[in-house]
Chains A and B, each alone.
Chain A
């Protein structure tokens, strides 16, 4: 089974802190994604990557950056956390661009 693991289930950070959310997948997938999920808004794509050291902006990249130094790891970085970044963050990976995505368990981030 594909396993996508996010480093934390729950995280509380202060406004202005730099925050790292880590995601690791164990199935050698090329593609990795970061979404945020908010009530009434569904899933919104933040960033994605189709290869090591490559990144593409999604729908809402402002205030975020990403890093993909190794194929299995895709990190989401909040450069200076703000309260409006309080959300559920979901990482996903897929084998092909048209195939299903496999999701991690999510990280619920609260910025105070």
Chain B
């Protein structure tokens, strides 16, 4: 079945460091891919998305490229800020599946120190 695997955290970085959070997926066909962010005590917010191979999603300085050949959708940011501290979830659209519309990774907690 469809699944998402993302790197385990927690990840701790200093302010202005480069961020990469790895995400790989297993799916039939060409699902849309998403990154969500969850700030402390809040629900999930959509950060960015890509709907087809080689698409690059971007938002708030974060980027991720849909790589079909490596079945990956890694999240990157060139210079993180303290305000980026949150939990990040990779997800794919589970079309054709019976378990709701999105399959989530387990989340990666990011802490950015000043």
Contact = CB atoms under 8 A, between A and B. Distances in A.
Contacts of B99: 45, 58-59
A102 B31 CA distance: 18
Interface stretch (B14-22, B42-50, B62-70, B74-82): B42-50
A96 B98 CA distance: 14
A48 B46 CA distance: 19
Contacts of B43: 4, 90, 103-106
B102 interface: yes
A106 B42 contact: yes
A40 B106 contact: yes
Contacts of A31: 101
A58 B49 CA distance: 24
Interface residues of B, number: 23
Interface residues of B: mostly helix, strand, loop or mixed? loop
27 contacts: A33-B101, A42-B104, A42-B105, A42-B106, A45-B99, A48-B100, A56-B98, A58-B100, A90-B44, A96-B101, A97-B93, A97-B101, A99-B32, A100-B32, A100-B34, A100-B102, A101-B44, A101-B101, A101-B102, A102-B46, A103-B43, A103-B44, A103-B45, A104-B43, A105-B43, A106-B41, A106-B43
Interface of B: 31-32, 34, 36, 41-46, 49, 89, 93, 95, 98-102, 104-107
Interface of A: 4, 31, 33, 40-43, 45, 48, 56, 58-59, 90, 92, 94, 96-106
